[in-house]
Amino acid sequence: MSYYRKIIGEKCYLAPVTIEDADQWAAWLNMLEVTLPLGDEAYGTIFPANMREWIEHIIKNHDPVFNIVDLATDKLLGRCLLFSVNHVDRTGHVGIFIGDQEYRGKGYGTEALKLLLDFGFNLLNLNNIMLGVFSYNERALNCYKKVGFKEIGRRRQARVVGGEKYDAVLMDMLSEEFESVYVKKVLNTLSRS
């Protein structure tokens, strides 16, 4: 399948979602390897029909939800989104997952997150973007720190999984702490024309 390239990195790009993505999203969101790190998604069953309805809602409302697509192959790898966007206070939350197991731990999530932050800070003009992650998700914690998120608080023992208790970690980033990876490059190209 061919996707539109909204924001392009070196390994992947963010593309608008399509109704055809519903089956793949549903498959990923029924895998514990994907949903346990996300949170509440692990506790329910996701059906393709639900995904189609949600994608229709995303398209109708122009919500900032994107597919993560491999640049070299146009293969769908995962999904990322900005949610709870407040244009008055210029805040939002970010969420991301790499659903295709072959692409985990290879930098695709890090790059996709930087592209999403570029969209949020430099196109939506947000000032503060926040996320939540559970303390057992060390891969995500390392990625978020590498990208520049800072821990702003913890809710202790907020998640119980497999009889173990884990903290919910809150992190955020300010627009002044982020360096554009794509948007400003396009602006510079246009200003030289």
Can you spell out the DSSP letters for the chain? -----SEE-SSEEEEE--GGGHHHHHHHTT-HHHHHHHSGGGGS---HHHHHHHHHHHHHHT--EEEEEETTT--EEEEEEEEEEETTTTEEEEEEEE--GGGTTTTHHHHHHHHHHHHHHHTS--SEEEEEEETT-HHHHHHHHHHT-EEEEEEEEEEEETTEEEEEEEEEEEGGG---SSHHHHHHHHHH-
> Is residue 13 among the annotated active site residues?
no
Which one from 13, 108, 144, 182 is the annotated catalytic residue?
144
The catalytic residue positions are 144
